[in-house]
Amino acid sequence: MNIMDVNKDIFYQINGLGKKLPFLDVPMIMIGSYALYFLIFVVIFYLFKKGEQNRIMVMSSLLSVGIAVLLGRVAGMVHSNNQPFAELPNVNQLVEKAVNNSFPSDHTMIFFAVCFSFFLFKKPGRYLWMVLACLVGFARIWVGVHYPGDILVGAILAIFAALLVYSVVSKIKGFNRQKHSKLPTTSEKDF
């Protein structure tokens, strides 16, 4: 069994849940297709919320999205596959989507880049951002538009981009890393 066979098998397991639990189809469609509007609202909210740290967080998350999408385009040139509904039989396709390269998932890259950036910056509720990003990725498989590999690679690229941006931003004078993250910091006392 090769990696694509495993990818297809996991896809069918998740996508098939819609046939077993059809009452969850509408919530999964909402999460997989429309949560992006919620995320845009949240980004705009934090952009205009009082405090320079909020603006730094938003700008960092947007830069992370840009880097993740750029990395995703490169990954898409190295490997490509169409959406599962275009390649496989018996897919429970719940949303309409044009057929194109679905590797890696743009939705997942956007959500993980923003949500992981927020995770790094915001102590209260930080894990909720990661739950949201994971739900979106799961929902994209549920509705039949992405393979698990599309989601996994999109998440990895986005997390890498967010960590890269955060590591640079946290070195900027005036940025209070202690206040906005539980990630370890080094000081002269540590040496």
Mean pLDDT to the nearest integer, 20-45: 95
Residues 123-130, mean pLDDT to the nearest whole number: 88
Q: For residues 39 and 136, is the Cβ–Cβ distance under 8 A?
A: no
Of 84 and 52, the structure prediction assigns the larger pLDDT to 84
Domain for residue 187, yes or no?
A: no
Residue at 14 is within a domain: no
Select from 140, 63, 60, 58 the least CA-distant residue to 104: 140
Tokens describing residue 36: 């992006």
User: Is 21 domain-assigned?
Assistant: no
Residue 99 domain boundaries: 26-179
Q: Average of pLDDT values for 31-54?
A: 93
In a domain, 106, yes or no: yes
pLDDT digits (tens, 9 = 90+) for 144-189: 999 999 999 999 999 999 999 999 998 886 665 555 554 544 444 4
Per the CB < 8 A criterion, the answer to whether 136 and 62 are in contact is no
pLDDT value of residue 77:
96
Residue 80 lies in a domain: yes
The pair of three-digit structure tokens given for residue 62, joined into one six-digit string = 């947007």
User: Chain centroid to CA 123: how far?
Assistant: 19
- The 10s digit of each residue's pLDDT in 160-171 is 999 999 999 988
Q: Write down the mean pLDDT value for the chain.
A: 90
Q: For the chain, where are the alpha helices, taking DSSP H only?
A: 3-15, 17-20, 25-29, 35-48, 52-78, 84-87, 106-121, 126-142, 148-169, 177-180
Q: Are 70 and 165 within 8 A, CB to CB? A: no
